[in-house]
Chains A and B, each alone.
Chain A
């Protein structure tokens, strides 16, 4: 198995632009998580899905952030419009049962 796949690995954009991060979970995993990691705030859970349905989005910082999971093999995290304070590493993780999670390599986002 290829593990959790995230793209792009690095993204540099200008303030105000739309950013879309992509994730392909491990096949057969029913749970998918999006995290954000920064030096100041550590690892933060943004949202997670179970069977493609969003279960808890209480960690999404504001309306500029949205996440979708149109099918079991694909999810997106979108930021529109992006701001410099959104600069972080964004991780996607998947899990067969919701507890033991398998992380992707992350997307390093820089908003100028």
Chain B
């Protein structure tokens, strides 16, 4: 069955440290890939997306993600986190353009001062 896995439910990093959030998918073909962020009390906001082309994509708020076909992964990274990055992050995939999106369970990011 098609699935999206975010193996880390919670991650804690210190402010200024680097960050990597993991996402793996299980599909036969390369899907469309997304990362969303949800701040407390807010809706989900799109951080970045990958459809094709360059496997390293840049997003808003200084985030980037790298698509690795061999590992079926689309990990989210940021070189230096800020306290305002504390939020929940969702990886999502769509197999075909007209298919419904499948969200991972989310990773909650905590920032230490």
User: A: which residues have CB within 8 A of B?
Assistant: 4, 33, 42-43, 45, 48, 50, 55-56, 91, 93, 97-106
Contacts and interface: CB of A to CB of B under 8 A. Distances in A.
B53 to A, nearest CB: 16
Tell me if A's interface is mostly helix, strand, loop or mixed.
Answer: strand
Given A33-B100, A43-B106, A98-B99, 11 more contacts: A45-B100, A91-B44, A93-B44, A98-B98, A99-B97, A99-B98, A99-B99, A100-B34, A102-B46, A103-B45, A105-B43
Given A42-B105, A43-B106, A103 B44 contact: yes
A98 B94 contact: yes
Interface residues of B, number: 19
B43 A43 contact: no
Interface of B: 32, 34, 36, 42-46, 49, 90, 94, 97-101, 103, 105-106
Contacts of B32: 99
A22 to B, nearest CB: 15
A101 B42 contact: no
Chain A CB within 10 Å, residue with most, of B43, B44, B90: B43
A43 B101 contact: no
Nearest to B46: A100
Given A100-B46, A100-B49, A105-B43, A43 B103 contact: yes
A50 B97 CA distance: 13
Contacts of A97: 97-98
